[in-house]
Amino acid sequence: MAARLRAGFVLILSALLLGGCWGYNEVNDLAFVAVAALDRRPEGGYRWTVAVPVPELVLPASVGGGGAGTAGGVTRTNLFRSATGPAPRAAAQALDAAIPREVRWSFADHILVGEAVARTGLLPLLEMISRGYRVERRASLYVVRGEAGELLTQLQPALDRSLARSFDALTRKNRPGTLRGVDGNTVLRWLDTPGTDPFLPVVTSAQASGAVSPAPGGIALFRRDRLAGFLSPPLDNGLLMARGEAHPFTMVVACPAGTGAARAAAGTGRGAGAAVVSLQVDRNKARIRVVGSGTAAGVAGAPASPGGGAMPRLQLQVDLAGVVLEWQCPDGRVDLARVRAVGQAAAQQARAQIRAALERSASLGVDPVGFGAALYRQDPRAWRAVQTQWRQRLRDLRPEVVVTFHVRGYQLTASAP
């Protein structure tokens, strides 16, 4: 019994002596990169500009911090540092040497890419992401028109929100006024998918009540890894609808004609601009189908494939649904015929935006929707016949665009029960 007690005492003592922390680092000794911006230098090479939250400024004085610092009356909880190098990874190593703390890039969830970097190619950045693993592949990528570092240092979000949180809110799904986020892993996957070109959201700045926050600025289109052009609003939403990825947005259509609305407007003296229906579009699905062959709806003037036929005809089917926000037709009557007319008008408006976005993309010789990928999956033989000339074929591609719109919530009225 005594031997067992001694053995138990030795085990307990050993556990007490062996316990403890290893590899422990104080938060104040670390520099967490929250948002980073990459630019090209005029003389060559790259420059990283990073925002590093400072714990002494973020934490309140009651728990050991110094409270938020101020500069020019603006609350600042981040320090901005820059470093240059011949490549993105070399510039990151120079940044490690310039900051007197251990730099952690694994928290860099948002990377801004300057326009010059995007035009010369994303491969150096993607190499750093995929090979070095210092920046995780889930980091979201954005394009900035001009210098990304300059935009980063201008951002001071309202309500003491951190830069990273402001970008998180900007890419939140199912929320109006947000953008479609694209991470590094998605770009790498698109580059490995035949018949698909990447695209990235464009971010700009918006000022309100003295605060400068990031805001959507359109979409940047790429030919492989190089920037080819931009889709400005509302064409960017046309592209997202074509991909089935549009975030909630508001659409305004005129009151249906031929149902008494125009006569009522004339009788009441109300202008035509007031006779509108506002819709909140909250559902979007899209699919591409290869529906057969034929030059009329396929590629205008395209040469025949080796099999003797023309390139198959492509059809883009887009399904939208939305709820009625405001029904401002003069007489206020809502019936099924008017609802159907509103749905058709909304479908025509969406189709026009989609067609404009497709035409702009085709003029640049890029395929962000993935028509080539759909052809590759659904008709591999036809894809092999046109694969080498797909860029030239894109400029003349005229896919059939079919849009349907389902109107919901029209049963609600402003009348007393």
What are the pLDDT digits (tens) for 292-336? 754 433 443 344 444 444 678 899 999 999 999 998 888 778 888
Higher confidence at residue 403 or residue 296?
403
Q: Quickly state the pLDDT bin for 249 (edges 50, 70, 90).
A: very high
With a cut of 90, say whether residue 219 has pLDDT above it.
yes
Are 341 and 286 in contact by the 8 Å Cβ rule? The answer is no
Cα–Cα distance measured from residue 182 to residue 139, given in angstroms and rounded to the nearest whole number: 8
Strand pairing category for 249-254 and 276-293: antiparallel
With a cut of 90, say whether residue 110 has pLDDT above it.
yes
Cα–Cα distance measured from residue 337 to residue 345, given in angstroms and rounded to the nearest whole number: 12
pLDDT value at residue 63: 42
Work out the angle between the directed axes of helices 235-243 and 336-363 (0-180°, nearest 10): 100
Are 88 and 125 in contact by the 8 Å Cβ rule? The answer is yes
With a cut of 70, say whether residue 263 has pLDDT above it.
no
Are 280 and 250 in contact by the 8 Å Cβ rule? The answer is yes
Alpha carbon of 64 to those of 45, 67, 75, 162, 284: distances in Å? 41, 9, 19, 20, 49
Quote the tokens at residue 273.
């601009």
pLDDT value at residue 157: 75
Question: How many Cα atoms are found within 13 Å in the side-chain-facing hemisphere of 79?
Answer: 15
Cα–Cα distance measured from residue 302 to residue 375, given in angstroms and rounded to the nearest whole number: 16
**Sign of the C-alpha dihedral, residues 230, 231, 236, 240?**
negative
Quote the tokens at residue 367.
């395929």
CATH code 3.30.67.10 for 249-408: no
pLDDT value at residue 412: 62
Higher confidence at residue 9 or residue 110?
110
pLDDT value at residue 197: 96
Give the chain's end-to-end CA distance (angstroms, integer).
86
pTM for the predicted model, two decimal places:
0.82
- Partners of 316 in beta bridges: 288, 401
- Partners of 57 in beta bridges: none
Q: List Cβ neighbours of 177 (8 Å cut-off, separation of 6 or more).
A: 216, 247
Please write the tens of the pLDDT for every residue from 127-142: 998 886 678 889 999 9
Between 156-170, 181-195, 212-226, 364-378, the lowest mean confidence (pLDDT) is in 156-170
With a cut of 60, say whether residue 62 has pLDDT above it.
no
Give ranges for CATH 3.30.300.210 in the chain.
249-408
